Amino acid sequence: MKSHLALAVAGALSLMACDSKAQANDKELRLGVANYLDKKGELCLDLTEWPLSISPANMEMKNAAPDTIVAKMETLTALGLTAEAPGGDDPKDTRPFKPDVVVKRYVLTDAGKKLYREKEVTVKDYRSKTSKQVKEGDLCYAQKKLDKVIAWTKPIKTGEWLWVHVTYSYKVGPVAAWARNPTLSAAFPDIAENLRLAGTEQKVYLKLGKQGWDEYDIGFD
C-alpha cells in the first residue's frame, strides 16, 4: 500500500514539476533567456574560416571603408594575432564558395590561437529539412550574461509549440584586454556596439520544450 502511495506521490510531483516549467513566469523565463545567452551570447569577431582567403575583389575594396576584411586582417596582424601566408590555389581548401583567385591568406599566430574558441554548431538545410554538426571557431573576447527579464507576451500556441516573446537586458562579463585596444575600434565597430547595448532592451523568442523554455528556433517546425 505504501509503495503504491509513494509512486502516486512521485508521479504527482513529476507532473507538478513539468507544469511549473510550462509557466511563463519570471523564474522560468529567466532560466530560458540565461540558457540562450550561455549558448549564443559569446561575443566574437565573426571570423570563422581559417586560413582566411583574400580575393582580388577584397583588395579593391581595401580603402572603401575602415572595416573591410583586408583592414580587419591588417589590424589583427599589427597586433600579432594573425600573419600573412602565401596566396594561390590551396588543394586542401574544399569550401564550395572559396574565391577563384586568392591574393593572400591570413593564418592565426600562436598568440591568435590562444584566443580562438572552437565549438560544434548545428547547420540546418531548410530545403531538405536535414541538419548536421560542424566545428566552427572564432576569436572571442567576452560573454553576454542575463541582467534581467523585463517583460513578456502572453504565450501563443503555434502547431505543437507554445512560444513567448521576451524582452530582457544583458550584461557583459570580463572583456579580454586585447579587445579594448583602441586600434581595433575602427576595424571592428561591433565590439563597441555590443558593449554599448549592455543594459538596453533586447528581445528573443522562447518556446516550451521538454526541459522548459529555450530559444525559439524556427527550425523545421
In a domain, 39, yes or no: yes
What does the pLDDT read at residue 100?
58
Task: Please check whether residue 113 lies inside any domain of the structure.
Answer: yes
Largest distance between two CA atoms of the chain: 82
In a domain, 4, yes or no: no
Task: Give the count of domains, the chain.
Answer: 1
Backbone dihedral region of 73: left (phi > 0), alpha (psi from -120 to 50 degrees) or beta?
Answer: alpha
Long-range contacts, stretch 92-96, CB < 8 angstroms, 24+ apart = 93/51, 93/53, 95/49
Per the domain annotation, does 12 fall within a domain?
no
Residue 155 counted as domain residue: yes
What is the residue-level pLDDT of the chain in tens, covering all 221 positions? Answer: 444 444 433 343 333 344 555 678 999 999 999 999 999 999 999 998 888 988 888 888 888 888 899 999 999 999 999 999 876 555 455 554 555 567 888 999 999 999 998 887 777 777 777 878 888 889 999 999 999 999 999 999 988 889 999 999 999 999 999 999 988 988 999 999 999 999 999 999 999 988 899 987 655 44
The pLDDT assigned to 202 comes to 97
**pTM score of the predicted model:** 0.77
pLDDT at residue 69, as a whole number: 93
Asked, for residue 38, whether it belongs to a domain, the answer is: yes
pLDDT of residue 135: 82
B/e letters for 151-183, b = 16+ CB within 10 Å, e = fewer, are ebeebeeeeeebbbebebbbebeeeeebbeeee
Residue 142 structural domain:
24-215
d(Cα 48, Cα 118) in Å, to the nearest integer?
Answer: 9
8-state DSSP, 153: P
- Candidates 165, 171, 172, 169; CA nearest to 150 is 169
Please check whether residue 168 lies inside any domain of the structure.
yes
Q: What is the pLDDT of residue 23?
A: 74
Q: What pLDDT is recorded for position 89? A: 56
- Residue position matching grid coordinates 519570471: 26
Q: How far, CA to CA in Å, does 105 sit from each of 88, 140, 183, 186?
A: 9, 21, 21, 22
For residue 150, tell me if it sits in a domain.
yes
